[in-house]
Structure 1
Amino acid sequence: MKKVLHLISGGDVGGAKTHVLTLVKELQKNLTVKIVCFMEGPFAQEARDMGIDIMVLPQQRRYDLKVIDTLVKLIKDEGFTLIHSHGARANFITRFIKNKLPIPCVTTIHSDFMLDFKGNLYKHIIYTNLNVFALKKFDYFIAVSESFKEMLIGRGFPADKIFTVYNGMDFDEDISYKSREKFLEERGLISLKDKKLIGILARLHPVKGHEIFIKAAADILAANKDIHFLITGESTEMPALDDLIKQLGIEDNVHFIGFGDAPYDILNAIDINVLTSYSESFPYALLEGARLEKPTISSAVGGIPMLIEDGENGYLFKAGDSNELSRKLSLMIEDEARSKAMGKALYKKADKNYSLKNLALNHINIYDIMLENKKERNTDENNR
């Protein structure tokens, strides 16, 4: 019988959090699955609210390895048959579990792990190398886009051990969100309720390319001062972005709105959904926007071109090219009817191809392959 233990830090936000929680909730319908995370917080509480079996094993610090013996005992006592890891911290811990137990392990590559700690030299040098050290111990890898699979192969990981599974979501599940007016009022922006609002839902990190969004905003505002741009997060998180906004003289039209755990509140409030990342997998911000039929423009990175067909159900631009972004933003602003048609077309494609049910079934198939391969290896060893 398959019993899967998912390991994740527990401090995750955005796409990784959505991916793991929705996946595990769906997997629970077909097999025994449990999450262990290493810090208390919104991730763990949301898992509990969703009825997910979750256990928190607090670490004093990232290198606290006392949790390993506890996890080994848990795996033995509860009869888990494989480990599914997510993220650098969980990967590091899984490597040491593998030294104690011959249990198949798979990790999902949610992002370009060489860029995860970009912007912090200490973390980049230490944590990136520790993650690479851990990844070399894994039996299998799940890439959330074909480009990520190619990335792994290019870095020396065996092609026959890598699966590609695109993210998915439940398009039939009821969702609720605040009205545009209520959301803007809570953020002190009620004066913008009748304005055209363009937003970016992404953590403030250099890989997300927010400066491209800001430069494109300046181009748009040179011709139309009645448009406003919303950025999730606080300006203090990346002061260089705030400096750029002031340097361009657009601080009256660009607003940091903080971030919560309700992306649909933000998506419902904006008119156009933008993503400017230099590297991506297959981001939930675009699937969530598609759920609300939002006109969308994104950099053509990772698996995004699998979802967005340029000029058909949205627009794509070359990563780092603010001029192309501003040009395509202008097209979307000027032709509202076509923009809305693109949003509807994006919803139809996402609903048809990237469902949560397919996501879970693909994972179950991978788990079956992992366990069958282990069985065959054990048989071969016994016959020697």
Structure 2
Amino acid sequence: MRILQALFFPPEQPGGVSSMVPFMIDRFNKRGWEMELFSLPKRIRGKGTEEVRFSTFDWEKYAGNKVVDKYIQTFKDYVWWTRMRITKTYDLIHAHHPIAGLVMKKLFPDTPVIMTMHSSYERELMLNGKIEEGGQEQTFLTSLYRELEDQVDQITTVSNSFKNYLAEFVQEPERIGVIPNGFDEKRFRPVHHENKMPQLITVCRLVPAKGLDVLLKACAELKKKGHPFVLHIIGDGPIRTELEELAASLGIYDDTIFYGYMLHPEDFMPFFDVFVLPSRAEAFGSVFAEASLCGLAVVGTNVGGIAEQIEHGSNGLLVPVDDVPALALALEKVASDPMYRYQLARVALEKALKSYSMTTVVQQLRSMYRTYRKEAKE
């Protein structure tokens, strides 16, 4: 069975799709499947000129909007690059971005196309202060969900929470499948260690949506109560300077290490004690599964896919979004009690191996692929 995995941009860094798809392809190919990866190089800009038309809404009434125009031009560029580069035929195409899904179905209408929604671009833009709720950009981007429903053969997503979010924008939400992201369990090796001082770690892009301002304020509360710690922040982004200034103003700059971007944080993560990320929204929250596979206790917010991964008090701790006192209390619990965080980490590792290992997810995908190949032949 020949399958094309269609990404948006190349998988250049860990997290989400980039963590999953290349390893998934390797697993399938080792078992005799024919699977290839396709994406749009970031250097491709302004090449596409082909007219864009959607079946379920008129995008041109949003023309002139900066976000919309950029999206449409990227769509055109993806069409141009796909026509240039793809000369083979495939039994099935699995797309991982709305542009990839719609372009592939447009150019290969007789090939089954499965579309996995990994995140919500409009929610990310709103949380990061780039667009306003209810504006043209949100309306345009959410309209694409209905267009995908109309065009592709199957929509799947990575959590029940995100499926419920998508339900507002499609006609038959019950048809949306749920398959979580999968992680190559061989990449993650918990390491037995004893740190004299609790080591907290977070890994993410430094943007407002990740709630790192809340984390820094909670850590300041932790310090005021006399609990020592070191906070390690791996990642880069537009608000790094702002976060460094906040850490300094809160008196915890010397307790915080900003590393910047790191290619393979999973090699580094097992030597820490607690993973914490107070995101304001997450469709799945891949980094929580990765941290669990590294043997860390995890602390997150009660939103989206995070709340599906963490059962509060069993394999981690959940706190409300933007609640500094609650996050400080959760960190105090895990930082001050090594046996408690060990127990949380042990259960988290067991669940992650059972539910989010690449072996488990590949089995689910294999079943879905065979279903659509069978339907295509009938």
1:278 — aligned with what? 280
What is the identity, as a one-letter code, of the residue corresponding to 1:8?
A: F
1:163-212 CA-partner distances (Å, limit 9, x unpaired)? 100122233x265799999xxxxxxxxxxx85322111111122211111
Pair 1:251–1:70, CA change in 2 (3 A): closer
For residues 8 and 179 of structure 1, the distance between their equivalents in structure 2, rounded to whole angstroms, comes to 38
Q: Determine helix, strand or coil for the equivalent of 1:116.
A: helix
Contact 1:179 1:265 in 2 (8 A): no
- Which residue number corresponds to residue 199 of structure 1? 201
Q: Deviations over 1:35-62 (max 9, x none)?
A: 112227xxxxxxxxxxxxxxxxx51357
Q: Deviations over 1:343-367 (max 9, x none)?
A: 1121112112222112112112222
Residue 20 (structure 2) aligns with: 19
1:186 match: none
Aligned equivalent of 2:66: none
- Could you tell me how far 1:81 is from its partner in structure 2? 2.4
**Contact 1:177–1:265 (CA under 8 A) maintained in structure 2:** no
CA distance in 2: counterparts of 1:238 and 1:127, whole angstroms: 26
Change in CA separation of 1:337 and 1:117 when aligned onto 2, cut-off 3 Å: same
Secondary structure at 2:304 match in 1? coil
Tell me the matched-pair count.
343
Matched, 1:147 2:158: no
How has the CA–CA distance of structure 1 residues 93 and 280 changed in structure 2, closer, same or farther, with 3 Å as cutoff?
Answer: closer
**Structure 1 residues 6 and 93: alpha-carbon distance in aligned structure 2, compared to 1, 3 A threshold:** closer
How far is the alpha carbon of 1:238 from its aligned partner?
Answer: 3.6
Q: CA deviation at 1:233?
A: 2.7
Distance 1:82 1:72, change over 3 A: farther
Taking the aligned partners of 1:243 and 1:174, their CA distance within structure 2 comes to 35
Q: Secondary structure at the match of 2:311?
A: coil
Partner of 1:45: none
User: Aligned in 2, Cα 1:128/1:256: closer, same or farther, shift over 3 Å?
Assistant: farther
Give the partner amino acid of 1:108: T
1:121 matched residue in structure 2: 130
Which string of whole-angstrom CA distances, capped at 9 and with x for unpartnered residues, describes residues 124-152 of structure 1? 97876665455413422221001111111
- 5+ long unaligned stretches in structure 1: 41-57, 182-192, 377-384
Residues 180 and 265 in structure 1, CA contact (< 8 A), matched pair in contact too: no
1:70–1:309 distance in 2 versus 1, CA, 3 Å:
closer
Alpha-carbon deviations, 1:237-270, whole Å to 9, x = none?
A: 4433233223323222222111211112331342
Structure 1 residue 123, shift from structure 2 partner: 11
Structure 1 vs Structure 2: percent identity of aligned residues? 22
Match for 2:108: what amino acid?
L
Distance in structure 2 (CA, Å) of the matches to 1:288 and 1:375: 38
| Aligned mates of 1:328, 1:277 — CA distance in 2 | 15
Encode CA deviations 1:78-130: one digit per residue, 9 max, x unaligned: 2212222223xxx3254244333313222221122322334363799787666
Unaligned runs of 5+ in 2: 47-69
Matched to 1:60, the amino acid is: R
TM-score, L = length of structure 1: 0.78
Aligned equivalents of 1:194 and 1:315: distance in 2?
Answer: 22
- Matched residue of 1:80: which SS? coil
Question: Structure 1 residues 145 and 30 mapped into 2: Cα distance closer, same or farther (>3 Å)?
Answer: farther
Change (3 A) 1:7 1:157: farther
- Asked if the contact 1:3/1:79 (under 8 Å) is kept, the reply is no
* Aligned equivalent of 1:52: none
> What's 2:45 paired with?
60
- 1:361 & 1:86 partners in 2: Cα distance? 18
Equivalent residue in structure 1 for 2:91, among 67, 81, 84: 81
Q: Secondary structure at 1:298's aligned position in 2?
A: strand
Aligned-partner SS, 2:122 = coil
Displacement of 1:298 in angstroms is 1.1
The answer to whether the 8 A contact 1:10-1:39 is kept is yes
SS at match of 1:325: helix
Structure-2 change in CA distance of 1:328 and 1:213 (3 Å): same
- Which of 36, 39, 48 is equivalent to 1:37? 39
Structure 1 vs Structure 2 CA RMSD: 3.1
Letter in 2 for 1:79: T
